[in-house]
Amino acid sequence: MNGKEDVFKKFVTNYKTGDIIYKKDDEQKHFFIINNGKIQIKLDEGENILVTLGKGDFFGEESLNEGQNAAYTVEVVEDADIIKIPYIALTDMMKKNTAISLKILKKLSEKNLKMLENSASFGHTVSAAKKKPVKAEPAVEDDESETLDPEIKAYLVIKRSNRIVQLTKKHTYLGRRDYTTGFIPDVDLTKEDEEKYISRKHSKISYIEEKFYVSEEPGAVNGTFLNGNKLSTGVKHELKNEDEITLCHLDIVFKY
């Protein structure tokens, strides 16, 4: 272990998936560097995720302003070893090592840009909600709601829960429900996606000219894979019996 790692070793803290490192408005006196694992920064303890951070990322910059409480809630979504540095120790390190200071500033800038982009989208959702009453968004558009012939037996096996879902429509959306807008996808993976990596409308399975196809939806993040190969957004790929579809980290087997 080199000298720089030795400096940080005494500050490493272990966190488990689901741990809340701190909540919005908590007293904040530490700066955090992720050694491994993943965390999510949220506007509060709800569903509004501003950014997901992993190895090498920083958070907790509120601690640099003495007396400022936490601006966000931070939740661990994958077991993590995190360097938790007291404000006083961090400022001392930054004074002695300009390289550390520059790296922190760069990483924080990248993180804050992502958070601004996501918070802007939340603001748009809230603004739209004020203009008209919130109502459940239909799972699919009207012209995509046509059902399959009952003789067609195709279904999905969600490996994490062993849940079986029969495909009954010619266009089936897979994703996670949106509690803000009321949108519920045809295959709701909210319970299986405990880490909240899957997008609201993540991918779609279509039945076209007697064949099934899978495609990733625009705006999906963290990737869609078919038998280990990453899909390009909007491009349809034919499905065969026993093909494995992976949404971020969730494996789903197609049966036909």
Which residues of the chain form CATH 2.60.200.20? 142-255
Dump pLDDT digits (tens) for 132-154. Answer: 444 444 443 445 678 999 899 99
CA pair distance 119, 141, nearest whole angstrom: 27
CA pair distance 28, 11, nearest whole angstrom: 16
Q: Is the dihedral of CA 72, 74, 75, 77 positive or negative?
A: positive
Question: Cα angle at 211 between 209 and 214, to 5 degrees?
Answer: 120
Confidence category of residue 112, pLDDT binned at 50, 70, 90: low
Q: Which two tokens stand for residue 176?
A: 């996670």
Mean pLDDT value of segment 112-116: 65
pLDDT for position 113: 63
| Residue located via tokens 């049966």 | 255
Q: Which two tokens stand for residue 7?
A: 């400096």
Among 40-54, 129-143, 199-213, which is the least confidently predicted range?
A: 129-143
* pTM, two decimal places: 0.47
CATH architecture classification, 3-131: Sandwich (2.60)
Class of domain 142-255: mainly beta
pLDDT for position 183: 85
Tell me: pLDDT of 67 over 70. no
Tell me: pLDDT of 44 over 80. no
Confidence category of residue 119, pLDDT binned at 50, 70, 90: low
- Residue 201's beta-bridge partner residues? none
pLDDT greater at residue 94 or residue 16: 16
Element (DSSP H or E) covering residue 3:
helix 3-9
Buried b (16+ CB within 10 A) or exposed e, 127-143: eeeeeeeeeeeebbeee
Element (DSSP H or E) covering residue 90:
helix 87-96
CA pair distance 172, 107, nearest whole angstrom: 39
CA pair distance 144, 168, nearest whole angstrom: 12
Q: What average pLDDT is seen over the chain?
A: 81
CA pair distance 156, 172, nearest whole angstrom: 11
Which residues of the chain form CATH 2.60.120.10? 3-131
Query: How do 187-188 and 171-175 pair as beta strands?
Result: parallel
